[in-house]
Amino acid sequence: MSRFWSDLAHDLQPYVPGEQPRIEGLVKLNTNESPFGPSPKVFDAIRAEAADSLRLYPDPQATALRESLAAYHGLTPDQVFVGNGSDEVLAHAFAGLLKHERPLLFPDITYSFYPVYCRLFGVVHETVPLDGDMRIRLTDYDRDAGAIILANPNAPTGIALGRGDIAALLARHADIPVVIDEAYVDFGGESAIPLIADHPNLLVVQTMSKSRALAGLRVGYALGQAPLVEGLTRVKDSFNSYPLGRPAQAGAIASIADEPWFQRSRDAVIAGRERMSRGLEALGFEVLPSAANFVFARHPSRGGVDLAKSLRERAVLVRHFNAPRIADFLRITVGTDTQVDRLLEALQAVL
């Protein structure tokens, strides 16, 4: 059937998401999902939307959700854009903000959807190598560029830049758009959101999939000054004018309203990350300093492919990237204490 494909479809190399297998008793630590459920208020809000109103289209502007996000982050609704997960929001940013004659810059080791979007939208880009410690070195971005996108904390390394670093980057590149992808910022990073007021070139992208445990609802959003948000809206309304359904909007609003649940859940993940890191280090692993809900680790005497395969045989699933510089690393999502114990016991047996 591929003879009917367009040239674009032939040339694409799609992003490969984390595996979602059905294995009995599986410890699933490969897709950075929350080990805890959403706020109970989310379930109540979604149930309330299971009514006759589902025959009607949702609010295409997601007005109530944008108002809730704006109030939560100290912004105005015209500074908020929402979409089906942060991946869709990023896609609109690549099309509407990051495509220029000069190249888009991003790290050589980062979220692997970025080069996929570049191919899809024809974005000229260059990758900037991380340093020997797997860190972003901002001085390496002092070169000719049309735009910059950075995941902060970076993925899959989990290493974060401070807000002061982002402010310095914005000051040095005030004439081009800079997108900061903060999918994991709630687990220990410093958000760049306070910098929006003074930097019209800054767009911050966040998701409700990780720290708010709403991966199944697909809610992402971007924050920036109104002209940047208007650029995203122009792309959205040329592609999908009703991006979020009624249950997703209602569930997201309910999650924002339950701050105590958010804080408890986030703190539990951070504590679990530190516990898991200590356990891995005790087994001889090198663990990069993480500000995310996962760790990036490698063992000095066992390769990443071998370890991932051996763990899978013991019904423990982690993420392995068969890519230059990181092939010996495993990205391991923070799970519950019971899941972490299963992981460490399996590694003990393997090693």
Q: Which pLDDT tens digit goes with each residue over 281-291?
A: 999 999 999 99
The DSSP secondary structure of 30-50, one letter per residue, reads SS---SSPPPHHHHHHHHHHS
26 and 74 in a single domain? The answer is no
Find the CATH number of the domain harbouring 157: 3.40.640.10
138 and 194 in a single domain? The answer is yes
154 and 277 in a single domain? The answer is no
194 and 96 in a single domain? The answer is yes
286 and 194 in a single domain? The answer is no
Which residues constitute the domain of residue 55?
A: 40-257
Is 51 part of a structural domain of the chain?
yes
Q: pLDDT of the chain along its 351 residues, tens only?
A: 578 888 888 777 776 766 777 766 789 999 999 999 999 999 999 999 999 999 999 999 999 999 999 999 999 999 999 999 999 999 999 999 999 999 999 999 999 999 999 999 999 999 999 999 999 999 999 999 999 999 999 999 999 999 999 999 999 999 999 999 999 999 999 999 999 999 999 999 999 999 999 999 999 999 999 999 999 999 999 998 999 999 999 999 999 999 999 999 999 999 999 999 999 999 999 999 999 999 999 999 999 999 999 999 999 999 999 999 999 999 999 999 999 999 999 999 999
Query: What does the radius of gyration of the chain's CA atoms come to, in whole angstroms?
Result: 20
189 and 299 in a single domain? The answer is no
Decide: 327 and 303 in contact? Cβ < 8 Å.
Answer: yes
199 and 292 in a single domain? The answer is no
- The span from the CA of 317 to the CA of 191, in Å, is 30
Decide: 129 and 159 in contact? Cβ < 8 Å.
Answer: no
Q: Which pLDDT tens digit goes with each residue over 182-206?
A: 999 999 999 999 999 999 999 999 9
Find the CATH number of the domain harbouring 346: 3.90.1150.10
Is 8 part of a structural domain of the chain?
no
268 and 216 in a single domain? The answer is no
| Identity at 60, one-letter amino acid code | P
57 and 150 in a single domain? The answer is yes
Last residue of a domain, one of 257, 272, 305: 257
Is 275 part of a structural domain of the chain?
yes
131 and 25 in a single domain? The answer is no
Say which residue the tokens 């891995």 belong to: 280
Is 173 part of a structural domain of the chain?
yes
Is 326 part of a structural domain of the chain?
yes
88 and 183 in a single domain? The answer is yes
What's the structural domain count of the chain?
2
Last residue of a domain, one of 214, 234, 257: 257
The DSSP secondary structure of 135-147, one letter per residue, reads ---GGGG-S--SE
In this prediction, residue 10 carries a pLDDT of: 79
Is 297 part of a structural domain of the chain?
yes
In this prediction, residue 1 carries a pLDDT of: 55
Q: Which pLDDT tens digit goes with each residue over 50-75?
A: 999 999 999 999 999 999 999 999 99
pTM to 2 decimal places: 0.95
123 and 241 in a single domain? The answer is yes
Is 136 part of a structural domain of the chain?
yes
